[in-house]
């Protein structure tokens, strides 16, 4: 791990010195042990602040949507294989320009101690490096070598086990379950803030003429918010799980996003962010799409 | 208010909201009217430019304001006035139905149809079938459960102030007050 950190710091130092990037986004020490904090540096002298360990959970792709970062010039961005999908999403949606990002792909054996549940179903331990084909996002640099083996895409459905558990409940119990979950929401919008794909400058949650969502943390407005959020991210969410980790109320938001990802795969054979050459499912249509629910 | 509520409860009528596109289904509904076809008056029709304009949130909003069922209808595939609006909408509805089901809303309360401007009879038939169905499965009580948990006051304030039926006549407004009998 130590060599990897040194390699990362040296690369950041080099890129900033050469002027290849004007700002570098990586991980630094967190305020408590066992945590890291997103760290944004603009001078080579601060490269020593960068770290790489088991706790680099945050999806830093979100900073590509922040003007405070991008206005400085070209961005050096540290990504894991899973985060690279969010970058792909942003590139596909015209929210980032490839030439303006230098992507540093980190080999990753899974994050968290104990290992995060989502990492057990990971099929992107190694981001694709320079020279990758058009169906993979080619990072400019790759650091490290992953030892954990990739599972099959979607883990043969095993990653949806928790979704299936909810699906199996009768409708009234599903409703009660989500009422319980959404009832805790305090409308802090942390889920929105950490999400790389939730980049609208003016979010519908803030619109008040007409007001679509109750601004107070009331069950009715909470329900509408979470349904709207899941719909807006359907077919776009790359499943990084940042929303769920950011939620101070521990609402299982990834259940919703996984459910939508599952539906998108089932109906449109599409996985968000996996293939830069593919057309996003919700951006297109097929005349032969499912039609059996129409009278 | 209390008497109103009780009498309303005694003769509960399903409230079904229809979101229809301007070019096909609205014209179809119009044809049903000019053809003097009789269909259930429990439907409230809202006209939009295209099915592609119907935000899934409209449907959530309808339930929030007391709808028992929602009907969405537009031009047949291939007939969209804007060429592809209904195709895009269809993709969204496919996903939205999955989501609604997942959060526990009975999919029988949200139905979809393609009704052209020439299908006045189909419109009457679909509306009658939908209303009969909702009548059978009863009022949508999901929000009652929700409000029982977090109180009605804030909700009433929000819906009552901006929305409601605007008549100001003290008719139970947007929310079916007291259907649960709790207040």
Interface of B with A (CB under 8 A): 56-57, 60-61, 64, 77-78, 84, 87-88, 90-99, 101-106, 111-114, 126, 129, 142-143, 145-147, 149-150, 154-155, 158, 162
Contacts of B94 in chain A (CB under 8 A): 263, 267, 289-290, 293
Contact B84 A224 (CB under 8 A): no
Q: Which residue has the tokens 């058009």?
A: A134
- Mutant choice from A176, A219, A252, A292 vs B, greatest count of B C-beta within 10 A: A219
Check: CB of residue B73 under 8 Å from CB of residue B113: yes
- Distance, in Å, from the CA atom of A197 to the CA atom of B63, rounded to the nearest integer, reads 28
pLDDT at residue B177, rounded to an integer: 39
Nearest neighbour of A285 by CB, restricted to B91, B103, B114: B91
Higher pLDDT, A219 or A137: A137
Closest listed residue to residue A190, CA positions, set A117, A248, A237, A260? A248
- Per-residue pLDDT, averaged over A197-201, amounts to 94
Nearest neighbour of A263 by CB, restricted to B87, B98, B142: B98
Q: How far is A32 from chain B (nearest CA, A)?
A: 36
**Tens-digit pLDDT profile for chain B (183 aa)?**
455 555 555 789 999 999 999 999 999 999 999 999 999 999 999 999 999 999 999 999 999 888 999 999 999 999 999 999 999 999 999 999 999 999 999 999 999 999 999 999 999 999 999 999 999 999 998 877 777 666 666 666 556 544 444 333 333 334 443 344 333
- What is the three-state SS of A224-281? HHHHHHHHHHCCCCCCCCHHHHHCCCCCCHHHHHHHHHHHHHHHHCCCCCCCCCCCCH
- Distance, in Å, from the CA atom of A92 to the CA atom of A78, rounded to the nearest integer, reads 19
pLDDT at residue B181, rounded to an integer: 36
Contact B154 A224 (CB under 8 A): no
pLDDT at residue A100, rounded to an integer: 96
pLDDT at residue B170, rounded to an integer: 36
pLDDT at residue A276, rounded to an integer: 94
A79-98 per-position pLDDT tens digit: 999 999 999 999 999 999 99
For residue A231, CA distances in Å to A128, A211, A261, A270, B122 come to 29, 18, 11, 16, 30
- Per-residue pLDDT, averaged over A148-174, amounts to 89
Contacts of A218 in chain B (CB under 8 A): 150, 154-155, 158
Question: Which alpha helices (DSSP H) does A28-185 contain, by range?
Answer: 67-70, 81-92, 161-167, 171-183
pLDDT at residue A48, rounded to an integer: 95
Q: How many CB pairs under 8 A join A and B?
A: 132
**CA A145, A146, A148 angle in degrees (round to 5)?**
160
Quickly state the pLDDT bin for A199 (edges 50, 70, 90): very high
pLDDT at residue A153, rounded to an integer: 81
Q: How far is A101 from chain B (nearest CA, A)?
A: 32
A101-114 per-position pLDDT tens digit: 999 999 999 999 89
pLDDT at residue B144, rounded to an integer: 74
- Per-residue pLDDT, averaged over A129-137, amounts to 92
Q: Which residue has the tokens 């804030």?
A: B154
Quickly state the pLDDT bin for A57 (edges 50, 70, 90): very high
Contacts of A223 in chain B (CB under 8 A): 60, 103, 146
Q: How far is A293 from chain B (nearest CA, A)?
A: 7
CA nearest A174 in B: which residue? B104
Bridge partners of B69, per DSSP, are B16
Any long-range contacts for A197-200 (C-beta under 8 Å, 24+ apart)? A197/A86, A197/A89, A197/A90, A197/A93, A197/A233, A197/A236, A197/A237, A197/A238, A198/A229, A198/A232, A198/A233, A199/A65, A199/A90, A199/A95
pLDDT at residue B165, rounded to an integer: 41
Nearest neighbour of B113 by CB, restricted to A166, A289, A295: A295
Quickly state the pLDDT bin for A263 (edges 50, 70, 90): very high
Q: In chain A, pLDDT over 90 holds for what percent of residues?
A: 86
Higher pLDDT, A282 or A157: A282
- Mutant choice from B103, B109, B143 vs A, greatest count of A C-beta within 10 A: B103
pTM over 0.90: no
pLDDT at residue A138, rounded to an integer: 95
Bridge partners of B112, per DSSP, are A294, B72
- Per-residue pLDDT, averaged over A170-199, amounts to 94
Contact A293 B94 (CB under 8 A): yes
- Per-residue pLDDT, averaged over A264-281, amounts to 94
């Amino acid at each position: 791990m130590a060599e990897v950190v040194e390699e990362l710091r040296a690369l950041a130092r080099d890129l900033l010195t050469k002027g290849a990037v004007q700002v570098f986004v990586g991980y630094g020490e967190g305020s408590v042990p066992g945590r890291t904090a997103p760290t944004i540096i603009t001078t080579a002298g601060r490269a020593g602040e960068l770290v790489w360990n088991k706790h680099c959970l945050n999806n830093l792709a979100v900073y590509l949507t922040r003007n405070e970062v991008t206005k400085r010039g070209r961005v050096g961005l540290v990504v894991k294989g899973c985060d690279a999908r969010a970058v792909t999403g942003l590139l596909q949606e015209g929210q980032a320009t490839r030439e303006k990002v230098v992507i540093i792909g980190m080999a990753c054996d899974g994050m968290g101690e104990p290992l995060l549940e989502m990492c057990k179903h990971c099929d992107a331990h190694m981001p694709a490096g320079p020279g990758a084909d058009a169906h993979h996002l080619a990072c400019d640099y790759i650091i490290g070598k992953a030892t954990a083996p990739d599972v099959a895409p979607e883990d043969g459905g095993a990653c949806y086990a928790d979704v299936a558990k909810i699906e199996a409940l009768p409708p009234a119990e599903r409703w009660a379950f989500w009422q319980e979950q959404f009832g805790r929401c305090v409308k802090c919008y942390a889920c929105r803030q950490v999400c790389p794909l939730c980049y609208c400058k003016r979010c519908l949650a803030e619109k008040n003429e007409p007001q679509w969502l109750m601004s107070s943390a009331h069950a009715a407005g909470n329900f509408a918010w979470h349904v709207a959020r899941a719909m807006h991210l359907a077919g776009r969410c790359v499943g990084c799980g940042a929303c769920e980790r950011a939620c101070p109320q521990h609402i299982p938001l990834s259940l919703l996003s996984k459910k939508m990802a599952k539906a998108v795969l089932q109906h449109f054979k599409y996985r968000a962010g996996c293939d830069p050459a593919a057309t996003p499912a919700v951006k297109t249509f097929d005349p032969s799409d499912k039609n059996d629910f129409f009278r | 208010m209390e008497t109103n509520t009780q009498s309303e409860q005694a003769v509960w009528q399903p409230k079904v909201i229809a979101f229809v596109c301007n070019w096909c289904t609205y014209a179809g509904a119009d044809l049903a009217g000019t053809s003097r076809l009789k269909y259930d008056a429990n439907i409230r029709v809202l006209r939009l430019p295209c099915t592609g304009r119907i935000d899934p949130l409209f449907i959530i909003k309808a339930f929030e304001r007391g709808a028992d069922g929602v009907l969405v209808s537009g031009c047949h595939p291939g007939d969209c006035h804007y060429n592809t609006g209904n195709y895009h909408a269809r993709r969204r509805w496919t996903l939205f139905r999955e989501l609604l089901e997942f959060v526990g809303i009975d999919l029988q309360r949200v139905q979809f149809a393609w009704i052209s401007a020439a299908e006045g009879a189909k419109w009457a038939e679909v509306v009658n079938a939908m209303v009969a169905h909702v009548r059978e499965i009863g009022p949508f009580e999901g929000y009652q459960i929700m409000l029982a948990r977090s109180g009605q006051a804030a909700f009433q304030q929000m819906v009552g102030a901006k929305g409601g039926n605007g008549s100001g006549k003290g008719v139970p407004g947007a929310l079916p007050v007291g259907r649960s009998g709790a207040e």
